[in-house]
Structure 1
Amino acid sequence: MKREQERRKSTLATVCQHLNAPEPTSDYRHLLVNNKHKILFNFIPKVSCSTWKTIWRTLNSKNGKLEMVLPHYRKDDARLRNYRKVLFVREPMSRLLSAYLNKFHSRSRIQRIWESHYGRAIVKRYRGAKNQKPVGGWLDITFIEFIKYITDLGSGIRINGLNDHWLPQYKLSRPCHVKYDFIGHFENLAVEGPFVLRWLGVDNIVHFPEYHSSNAMGHFGEYNESIPPVLMRKLMNYYSEDYKLFGYSPDDVMSLVQEHNTNPMNLET
């Protein structure tokens, strides 16, 4: 684990030298703090963030709240130097598909909210209609429409509590400015989740729950195989910094597509 952490941090540092990432000035809302144990944890939506928030509420057991640090970024905050800092990231396409399935394909109240905030704009932009609704009242935004929308919109938008589910992870974590001590990968969460709690010395207080494979992985090949090459290139460009900074490769996408297309038993829930 130590060697792997050194490799990930070395990769990140090398890319940061060549990445023109502006110094964050405000709107830094994804850093959780536990002052008792001197820990900072950067949560990223669709990277098991609900689990991490539950863990943090337990650690902050006095009030059970998710105490945020740096809601307005201050690079001189001493905690950035003195606290141990943890970040978990995920393969970008897997994270994007997970967001789509949860927000636009769940037939839930969450889908109503997302269709209200983004679905109508997507329909108007790509279907040429303002109030086009299929039977049942759902907009049924397709994965292709969702991809077109986010790549056309671009990543230079103000972060909010909805678009942070698809914005590039480096924009939510500022890894070239916050020097993380541990960079975890969602794909190895079953091992790295419990490990980091032991490393932080809090495994006697909180336990990482049993890991269940993401539903998105069961449908990865099905959805990603349908993306036209031109649109896939735009998407890879959109997430290019995430791929470089966090040690993922666009080749991973095609490998996962092939793996899940040739293994029908891999449709996990």
Structure 2
Amino acid sequence: MRHMKLKRRLNVLLSFSLGAVIIEYLAVKGLPECFLNRYTAEEVKMSTRVDKLNHMCNWLVNKGYKLKESQRFKHIIVDDKYKVMFCYVPKVACTNFIRIFLSLKDNINSSDPMHLKAGDVHILKKNLTFLDTFSVPEVEYRIKHYTKAIFVREPLERVFSAFRNKFLKTNNQIFMHSFGEKIIRIYRNKSTVNSSDTGGVKFTEFVQYLLDGKTIKQGYNEHWELFSNLCHPCLIRYNFIGKYESLETDVNSFLKQISMEGKIKFPKRETYYKHKSSTELLSVVYENIQPEMFENLTKIFEKDYLLFDYEIPSRKQIMKKRVLFR
């Protein structure tokens, strides 16, 4: 009887998302090992993230938040065999996640997703099934019965990572033609730059582009669009939320959740990325962003911060991070 009461109390505590503190408290109190084993630290972490998402969604709905009519489910992969829905977010290891789902398909089966080249991945992506191909009843059924997973990343870090990938590190000609030339033409201050300055898009110019009312009205490209707009968290109500900051452990938990643990290898960062991380460079690039622009940028991505439990940073906080990477 005493154990039953303790179990009920534990469930109540978990419902309030007290996270790893609960595990520590139980260990200190010396409660039976069966209760400590009942909820692992990973399970508590996931419960915390899911509960906070649901709490924030309820708050936003009460504030009048609604989905845009133009939004669709084209980023949500569906695998009926493993009963999983997964929303891929560009610049959150999305190529490797797409590799995983391609590998799960019977006709492209492989335990090592890295056998698929990055360029091929986005061509083969069309072979996957997406949620927007289902009828409303079919969508509702999958929302109710499937594992619904999403991986997210600190929003301002993701913004810089997108800029770095499309305009800086790779000098992507498609993005330079579609966005870069326009950004330079509109936002480069011709009076303060040398006439011989033929460099690519500067990060300050990219931020100006993001803050422009016309850009916001037209809608962002998927690589810097809010993941709350790409993945509809307040409609889908994800029950698995992974984070880029704890990618390796969260991926392992996700593969375990869909019964693929040990069957699929998720590439480690060092195997495909040889440069400094965006986190290491964050304080450098945001130092050149004016305080008012920085504050306006955080306001644009405020929904992502709130829904996925990231602290909205001040410019001063980001500058402090520079010390960590010297």
**Residue from 193, 200, 207 that aligns with 1:147:** 207
Contact 1:170–1:242 under 8 Å retained in 2: yes
Residue 230 to residue 252, structure 1, CA distance change in 2 (3 Å): closer
**Residue from 154, 161, 170 that aligns with 1:98:** 161
**Residue from 256, 259, 266 that aligns with 1:201:** 259
> Equivalents in 2 of 1:27, 1:209: separation in Å?
29
- Note the alpha carbon deviations across 1:131-187, whole angstroms, 9 max, x for none: x99879x6511111101101214545456xxx1111111001100000211011110
Q: Name segments (4+ residues, structure 1) moved above 6 Å.
A: 132-136
> Equivalents in 2 of 1:244, 1:121: separation in Å?
32
Q: What TM-score, normalized by structure 1, do the two folds share?
A: 0.85
**Residue from 12, 21, 29 that aligns with 2:65:** 21
The residue number in structure 2 matching 1:5 is: 46
Aligned length: 256
- Note the alpha carbon deviations across 1:67-97, whole angstroms, 9 max, x for none: 1322367553222222111000000011011
Equivalences for residues 127-166 of structure 1 within 5 A: 127=188, 139-152=199-212, 153-158=214-219, 163-166=221-224
Residue 107 to residue 7, structure 1, CA distance change in 2 (3 Å): closer
Residue 188 to residue 125, structure 1, CA distance change in 2 (3 Å): same
> Equivalents in 2 of 1:192, 1:87: separation in Å?
11
1:116 offset after TM fit, Å? 0.5
Moved more, 194-203 or 93-102: 194-203
Cα RMSD of the aligned pairs, angstroms, is 2.6
Moved more, 169-178 or 12-21: 12-21
Residue 244 to residue 92, structure 1, CA distance change in 2 (3 Å): same
- Note the alpha carbon deviations across 1:43-78, whole angstroms, 9 max, x for none: 000001011011111011325754132236755322
Contact 2:166–2:175 under 8 Å retained in 1: yes
The residue number in structure 1 matching 2:86 is: 41
Paired amino acid for 1:42:
C
1:28 offset after TM fit, Å? 2.2
> Equivalents in 2 of 1:135, 1:50: separation in Å?
37
The residue number in structure 1 matching 2:176 is: 115
> Equivalents in 2 of 1:85, 1:165: separation in Å?
21
**Residue from 275, 299, 322 that aligns with 1:237:** 299
Q: Percent identity?
A: 25
1:251 offset after TM fit, Å? 2.7
Whether 1:59 and 2:104 are equivalent positions in the alignment is yes
> Equivalents in 1 of 2:74, 2:147: separation in Å?
18
Greater helix content: 2
- Note the alpha carbon deviations across 1:16-49, whole angstroms, 9 max, x for none: 1232332465532111111111111110000010
Unaligned runs of 5+ in 1: none
> Equivalents in 2 of 1:27, 1:199: separation in Å?
26
Paired amino acid for 2:74:
R
- Note the alpha carbon deviations across 1:205-247, whole angstroms, 9 max, x for none: 3122223487212211111122110000110110000011000
> Equivalents in 1 of 2:133, 2:196: separation in Å?
44
Moved more, 228-237 or 244-253: 244-253
> Equivalents in 1 of 2:279, 2:175: separation in Å?
22
> Equivalents in 2 of 1:75, 1:94: separation in Å?
35
**Residue from 224, 230, 246 that aligns with 2:286:** 224
> Equivalents in 2 of 1:73, 1:238: separation in Å?
31
Q: What TM-score, normalized by structure 2, do the two folds share?
A: 0.71
Moved more, 164-173 or 244-253: 244-253
Contact 1:90–1:185 under 8 Å retained in 2: yes
Structure with larger Rg = 2
Paired amino acid for 2:227:
Q
Residue 56 to residue 35, structure 1, CA distance change in 2 (3 Å): same
The residue number in structure 1 matching 2:132 is: 71
Paired amino acid for 1:124:
R
